[in-house]
Structure 1
């Protein structure tokens, strides 16, 4: 379609030249007819005949710009030639070209009067010259064919223009969808990076603080803690490599739903294409948080295996973000509880802690972190038709509550 548009633009720029060439071609045809008629007649074309031919040819240069005006001008010149007795082939050919142009480039409102004028002329000439009615019928048939041919070309041209416009609109829509997909993918990647980095860095900081605190009194315990810091860092690096591996392989935003291998292998695997974490990895996540010093318990209700890997990843990230915030704002002495309840209709999460009065988890803090914390897990819940709420509890501490509703379930 792009090449067709370029050709069409070039043709539009050369419209005047093409109109002149078309007018000259029609005039040449009339001149050839006029010259050939002299061979079968005793009367040769005179200067007036040639002059009238030129006079009727010139208006055709503007036939596409003003079809109706050119028609009536040519039609009047044809009548003038008959009245003054000028014998030229242009009086037959030029009106046909003019009415063709009205049918092709003009409006129907202007075509009807032109057609009436032509047919009235045919009828008048037939009656005045007492010609055979067969000639009148033949001329009428020729006029009808010319008009139908012009209307057919006009319809086809309009159809092609509509196809071109539709193709251009589809191209614009495709580009817009591509931009939206890129934006959504960037948001997804930013959310994944935030979840990976924020959680693991928070755990590493907590472990490093603990190692520094016990370094003088218990060097062996401090060394063991630093080993856990190293393991946590390697885990974060492995998850980042996996994410980058998905990008290199051209995976789409739905890749997390297509990787259905054992999710529990992700935290142990060094393969960059290992699957995303899921519900089965929450126990490993809690062990990691407990290693950092946070006391946390887990309560499961219902069959979590009914839900697919996409929902499993959302559950994992919501729990991960909530516990990361507890580590950062409530401290390692706080207690946390993770409750996961699965029913036939939805999957409900509640993560609470007792870090009373020590959580500065305000919107401003979330903005300073880049806006991918609570906002990110709220987006995850919304993507599964759910909702998420977070805030202080009535008895102190903090609560993150989420509900997921989705058809992304696997029959157990």
Structure 2
């Protein structure tokens, strides 16, 4: 309820300003009733209304209101009218201009009021005696109001800077979230490409073999169909694991672990079962690799073998070699197939995905035809966290 009232009042600036000027009307009432200050009721009312009425628009048109009040005060001085309680409106106008505008405007407003103090002191000291004490008091009041307005202007500027900083941080956070989402989508796209491209290639090879052997060798056709079934189930499991990441409300528990270097034997066995002879060699002692690096090694080998299945041609064989060094894992996958002579439809993302995976860990990938035929993929994945 209080919050709604405050929001409503913030939109009714003239009403609030009128409320804040009400005490000056109250202080001016005795002059209306007693006819003090040596003025008639009409004269007193005209000067008081001329000084107080503009305050209703004090924050809507600050400089205009201050100029009007200063002009009325000047006419009041020229008409030899003594200072009234309503002349406090000058101080309210001074505060508003100083708090709401630049330092130059604040200084200009203070000089205008100080000029009025000098004029009134000079004029009325002849009637009331020595006016030095009055002048000092007025100057102190002017300085106090000016400093208060300056403080409020500085505070408001500080609060605005905090709000702008909060908005900027919020925009930066949103941008970082979008970048993270884009990176996650790119990572999922790479994973889906690796899973689908490899397993579908194996399924296609096995299906071609089954269709050829079904009339001549039923047992081999059955083996090919069993390999298709196994590969399809594995691909489904991998895709469910990847798509499960996108389920925001799925709290069913951990998904199957991502493959690593330990699963390379199964990968090679799967490729061999599809009809591609593969030699798998390991040199050195495997270091303690992070899961991300292990997945990168696995996917690079998988993609290289998939390309051999797709583009190597008939009677092709491949060799996979892992060389564990003290600072990196070196991967080499080559084949004796058609190499650069293989047709390229221009829609593959495998080599790009391998390079992107390796670059995450500061690694490199080189893929090119071999001299004398075939194709070769070489990759180096640093094992140090600072590389």
Shorter chain as normaliser: what TM range?
Answer: 0.7 to 0.9
Secondary structure at the counterpart of residue 304 of structure 1: coil
Please say if 1:80 is aligned against 2:80.
no
Give the TM-score normalised by structure 1.
Answer: 0.81
What is the match of residue 258 of structure 1? none
Change in CA separation of 1:358 and 1:83 when aligned onto 2, cut-off 3 Å: closer
What is the match of residue 190 of structure 2? 191
Unaligned 5+ residue runs, structure 2?
none
Spell out the pairing of 1:7-156 with structure 2 (5 A cutoff). Answer: 14=11, 17-19=12-14, 21-23=16-18, 25-26=20-21, 28-37=22-31, 38-39=33-34, 41=36, 43=38, 46-61=41-56, 63-64=58-59, 67-87=62-82, 89=84, 92-128=87-123, 129=125, 130-156=129-155
Spell out the pairing of 1:387-406 with structure 2 (5 A cutoff). Answer: 387-405=364-382
Q: For residue 226 of structure 1, report the CA deviation from its aligned partner.
A: 1.5
- Does 279-288 or 208-217 show the bigger shift? 208-217
Secondary structure at the counterpart of residue 248 of structure 1: coil
Secondary structure at the counterpart of residue 282 of structure 2: strand
Spell out the pairing of 1:320-331 with structure 2 (5 A cutoff). Answer: 320-331=302-313
243, 260, 267: which one aligns with 1:278:
260
What is the match of residue 203 of structure 1? 202
What is the match of residue 225 of structure 2? 226
Change in CA separation of 1:378 and 1:358 when aligned onto 2, cut-off 3 Å: closer
Change in CA separation of 1:84 and 1:229 when aligned onto 2, cut-off 3 Å: same
CA contact (8 A) 1:49 1:86 kept: no
Change in CA separation of 1:150 and 1:172 when aligned onto 2, cut-off 3 Å: same
Q: For residue 360 of structure 1, report the CA deviation from its aligned partner.
A: 2.7
Alignment deviations for residues 96-154 of structure 1 (CA, whole Å, 9 cap, x no partner): 11111221112211222332333344345445504354333332232222222222222
CA contact (8 A) 2:327 2:384 kept: no
- Total equivalences in the alignment: 375
Distance 2:200 2:293 in 1: 25
289, 296, 315: which one aligns with 1:314:
296
Alignment deviations for residues 151-197 of structure 1 (CA, whole Å, 9 cap, x no partner): 22222222222222222222222222222222221111121111111
Give the TM-score normalised by structure 2.
Answer: 0.86
Secondary structure at the counterpart of residue 223 of structure 1: helix
Change in CA separation of 1:126 and 1:406 when aligned onto 2, cut-off 3 Å: farther
Q: For residue 354 of structure 1, report the CA deviation from its aligned partner.
A: 0.8
Spell out the pairing of 1:204-353 with structure 2 (5 A cutoff). Answer: 204-248=203-247, 273-353=255-335
Q: For residue 323 of structure 1, report the CA deviation from its aligned partner.
A: 0.3
Secondary structure at the counterpart of residue 391 of structure 1: strand
Change in CA separation of 1:361 and 1:168 when aligned onto 2, cut-off 3 Å: farther
Distance 1:292 1:236 in 2: 15
CA contact (8 A) 1:24 1:57 kept: no
Change in CA separation of 1:145 and 1:42 when aligned onto 2, cut-off 3 Å: closer
Distance 1:250 1:301 in 2: 44
Unaligned 5+ residue runs, structure 1?
252-270
Q: For residue 76 of structure 1, report the CA deviation from its aligned partner.
A: 3.0
Distance 1:344 1:40 in 2: 103
What is the match of residue 265 of structure 1? none
Distance 1:116 1:242 in 2: 75
Q: For residue 246 of structure 1, report the CA deviation from its aligned partner.
A: 3.6
What is the match of residue 376 of structure 1? 353
